Amino acid sequence: MLEADLLLEHAAELATPVGPAPRTGKSLGSLRIIPDAAVAVAGESLIFVGPTRDAQAKVRLRGGGLRLDVSGKTLLPGFVDPHTHLPFAGSRAAEFRMRLEGRTYEEIAAAGGGILSTVQATRAAAVPDLAAGALGRLDRMLEWGTTTCEAKSGYGLSLEAELKQLRVLEEVSRCHPVEIVPTFLGAHTVPVERRSQREDYVREVVEEMIPRVSEERLAEFCDVFCERGAFTLAESEKILEAGKRFGLKPRLHADQLSSGGGAELAARIGAASADHLEFVSEAGIERMAAAGVTAVLIPGAGFFLMSPHRPPARRLVEGGVSVALATDFNPGTCPTEAMPPILVLACLTLSLGIEEAITAATLNAAHSLGRSAVIGSLEEGKQADIQVLDIPDHTHLVYRFGVNHVETIVKKGALAYHRPASRMRRSP
Ligand code: NIG
Ligand code: FE
């Protein structure tokens, strides 16, 4: 008999991708679906995933263990959000209103707003305030089903202010169940005071920031916003190669607002991911597939920027590229922490299937963070990161859009969130 600390049984459905990761082509859309399902957890790990009747034969609850009847609910792996800009101060609501009146994101940025306005607010913020903001956002992620997120600096743009953001991430990750994968994004844009000496800013990123971030073990990845108005291909390559020398794995914002060869660069340097890709070229798609670079698609940002341009999601899938989905949570282009609306947009605006979107938001996202052996699917031996959703099957996650279906979240085998009782009454 297997000895469990936690047993969830009689789920109406369990839906999960299964490894090996990443899932590409047709396998992106194939989920393992188990009706009347159970999962058993010992410590932080899943020890059983299967039909409830098999669990009854194979699993025994330890003394003091917890048995939950989840009949009528659907079990899914926790979402893995592989692209967020979590630690920042201030709001860009006023810019949002300007955009509603017809100004573009790039016009606002060129006039000193955009990323630079968040940089100003973030530099001025005290550490406890930045930490409090990040914790509130992590709470909302968890409430919407995210159990692991990548999180970038990039609103400091000076050695001290970048270190401040990364240290805040380190601190909040110690006291919050959502697991954080930190990324250094000192090359988000050239800060306003360095605009006349941009080569010197790139030099500082390469020679001072990257070594220090690496020495203090504050990040796992190095990212660059490779875009007109931000960093050129040559600058991006220089920065990402420097990151590699210091043990920071590359990922990048590529081909978001214009076609700039970002995807090709990602393939050339062996990046873990190229993100956005609204303007990816055909050659970029082929090289990403050959090099195993994950395409992190971000339908929330295109939607929120009212852009008519969409990444060629179907072409990426059919071209054999590993596709993942992210919020890109940030104050300018996608101010939501919630993954379910991103899945809805992926299905309705990028033509992903529901099962494809679920794999992209779990196992493939985990793969892009180098963690697909541990998280991203409900498989025996993996970490127990589980969503219990108050829906009869996984189709309802996308069909019943705009509603939070999360009832319970298990993170590393522990109950991390339970919806307040007053909201648990079922409405007809
Ligand atoms: O991913 N593109 C660059 N960075 C963010 C936007 C950040 C901001 O506007 O503050 C993005 O869309
Ligand atoms: Fe981003």
Whether residue 22 is preceded by a cis peptide bond, meaning omega within 30 degrees of 0, is yes
For the segment 335-358, the average pLDDT, to the nearest whole number, is: 98
Q: What are phi and psi of 368, to 5 degrees?
A: -65, -20
Note the maximum CA span of the chain.
71
User: For ligand 1, is residue 250 a contact (CB within 6 Å)?
Assistant: no
Q: How confident is the model at residue 241 (pLDDT cuts 50, 70, 90)?
A: very high
CA distance 332 to 118: 9
pLDDT for position 420: 83
Average pLDDT for the chain: 97
Q: State how far the alpha carbon of 276 is from the alpha carbons of 15, 214, 294, 366, 406, in Å.
A: 27, 26, 11, 17, 27
pLDDT for position 422: 59
Q: How confident is the model at residue 428 (pLDDT cuts 50, 70, 90)?
A: very low
Q: Report the nearest-CA residue for atom 3 of ligand 1.
A: 225
Spell out where 341-420 has E strands. Answer: 386-389, 406-411, 414-418
Report every protein residue that has its C-beta within 5 angstroms of ion ligand 2. 328
Sign of the Cα pseudo-torsion (267, 269, 275, 280, in order): negative
Percent of the chain with pLDDT over 90: 96
Q: Are 28 and 387 in contact (CB under 8 A)?
A: no
CA distance 31 to 6: 24
pLDDT for position 122: 98
Nearest 10 degrees: CA dihedral of 166, 167, 173, 176? -120
CA distance 273 to 294: 4
Q: Report the nearest-CA residue for atom 9 of ligand 1.
A: 332
Q: pLDDT tens across 178-219, in order? A: 999 999 999 999 999 999 999 999 999 999 999 999 999 999
CA distance 180 to 170: 8
Q: pLDDT tens across 108-148, in order? A: 998 889 999 999 999 999 999 999 999 999 999 999 999 99
User: For ligand 1, is residue 328 a contact (CB within 6 Å)?
Assistant: yes
pTM, two decimal places = 0.97
Q: How confident is the model at residue 365 (pLDDT cuts 50, 70, 90)?
A: very high
For the segment 229-254, the average pLDDT, to the nearest whole number, is: 97
pLDDT for position 421: 72
Which ligand 1 atom is nearest residue 189's CA? 3
pLDDT for position 229: 86
Using CB atoms within 10 Å of the CB of residue 381, give its burial: 0 to 12 exposed, 13 to 18 middle, 19+ buried: exposed
Q: pLDDT tens across 19-36, in order? A: 999 999 999 999 999 999
Q: Are 262 and 252 in contact (CB under 8 A)?
A: yes
Structure tokens at 205: 């990123």
332 Cα: distance to centroid of ligand 1 (angstroms): 6
Paired sense of beta strands 294-297 and 406-411, if any: unpaired
Count of positions (residues) in the chain: 428
CA distance 221 to 244: 9
Find the distance separating the first CA and the last CA of the chain, reported in whole Å: 40
Choosing from 278, 298, 330, 342 the residue with most ligand 1 atoms within 8 A of its CB, the one to mutate for a pocket test is 330
Residue that wins the pLDDT comparison between 103 and 260 = 103
pLDDT for position 424: 54
Which ligand 1 atom is nearest residue 109's CA? 9
pLDDT for position 9: 98
For the segment 144-166, the average pLDDT, to the nearest whole number, is: 98
Q: How many CB atoms lie within 10 A of CB 289?
A: 19
Ligand nearest to the CA of 113: 1
Which ligand 1 atom is nearest residue 257's CA? 2
pLDDT for position 112: 86
